[in-house]
Structure 1
Amino acid sequence: MALATAIGVTAGCSSAALPTPPGTAASEGGAGSESIEQILADAPVADPADLPAGSRMATIKQAGTLRVGGTTTAALFSLKDPITGKTTGFDAYLAQLLAKYITGTPSVELVQVTAQTRELLLQNGTVDAVLATYTITPARAEKINFAGPYFNSGTSILVKKSETTITSPSDLAGRTVVTQSNSTAVNTLEQLVPDAKLLLLETNDQCVQALRQGRADAYVLDQAILVGNAERDPQVKIVGQPFTEDPYGIGLPPGDAQFKTFVNGWLTKLIDAGLWDRVWKASVGTAIEGEPPAPPVIGSAAGS
């Protein structure tokens, strides 16, 4: 069964949001999508004048590799193939495009991050950027910089395929709900369903396993992540409507306004050249039918 046409999380909002799926992902949505190599061939490279000496951009170019904090377990966004060793998905492809823009080649060093380590790795200089379905919030923006937003998602509910009694946040009252520690879903659940029993785990895979094993009645997180889970696991499904708006941003080191402006300028070029749409079709669009939604307005999220 195909997913519904992509819609904004907020009524009347034209944004890059995932759809509200009826349960299973489209099995043929990606037929004919182009490869990341084809997209990279058309991707821009920064003018040398935009990489002034002493800037973070110049340092990255000299190193020849962009160090990106990310994950390898988020289907449709950043998932590593154990056979080929390649990491595919929306975030993974954006990382390659940004690397090419700065260095001239799509050379990315992927550093595994979790919801608990993203800010720390940016603060201590371990990574140059974080692309990991990273929701922009004012609180996080006090610790790091955000470019974007580049994608909009919304908090949703994942349950076992056999589950019929959970369709909305109110149905989670008194239930055990798993989510990732330090995710925005923790505060959302505490506010909307204060009597839910929270099970906090570190990774997406651990949360899905807890749901499948019956240690949790539902898994609540960004719809973008949950759609990927439903795409690759026939034992789970998404229910109900997204009930928050979660704008994804590119996490950047704090205190470097020049680098933030540079990355926002690159995002604008991608959108204007139609490359954002092509990346969407080659990743998220392989599971969702229809044309890409409109990208969110850069700088439109509180904290961006």
Structure 2
Amino acid sequence: MRALFATDLSAASEAAIQNETSLETLQQIGVDTIDLVTVVPSNVHAGMPGMDLEGRRERALDRYQSVMEDAGFEVDTHVVRGTPHRRINGIAGTIGADLTVVGSRGKSPLENRVIGSTARNLSRTTVVPLLITRIERETAEPEVRREQLFQRMLYATDFSENAERAFEAFSTLRHATESARLVHVESPKDAGATGDEGDDPATRLEELTAQLEEWDIETEIDVRQGDPADEILAAEDEFDATTTLLGSRGRSRLRRLLLGSVSETVIARAAGNVYLVPPSRSA
């Protein structure tokens, strides 16, 4: 598997890249090649006062590359200019990445629905599965908050086609997963829309549970009522999930750029990591 690591050379990015446990977890799911990419925004120029951009990029990428090669990965580096999320998506598609990884400090102390602009834009437009690793806030030397990335998985589903596609990620993630909680949230707007008549959510979740238990993943189901985003976040907290797995689009017919509000809210407010699976490219 090939993973693309996006870095802005910040302390948060460095924490995600240099965390040994997280790197070992990626190896567990089959990642053996990593592409490091840093994007220089178009409005930033090397000649700007006080900015040794070229030297800083080279030193940081050399250091990151050494860490990852020492951990056993094959590593390529990319330094490009442009709009970060567009260039990252473009490289991911060009190299055939199986996964994009980006670090985010998550909740802003000023506005709890704000996440880093690159992570937010990637979550709206990603062409491959996206892992947003949650980094500690308000510390000079931040760490990954849930370094055992896929150990305890919370899977949220509305039984849509894209949610089913997200569930398929377990075929790879299972090599690093010990337990999982499968959650479906019923809301007034969803009444009668979850499946065939008489096919209740608990039954459908039990069917998914059978698959995970074949892989020796301890699994439980959770059917809740209320606001989907709020209930998913509550389930994450109760289960102490290391990562929440969900699709980037449910039953909405809006184009992918307009990410469903549930996914975007979860990404912004989750305490742990989020693994987001986009629709297939042919969708």
> TM above 0.5, one fold?
no
Higher relative contact order (CA 8 A, sep 6+): 1
Kindly indicate which of the two structures has a greater share of residues assigned to helix. 2
- TM-score by length of structure 2 reads 0.27
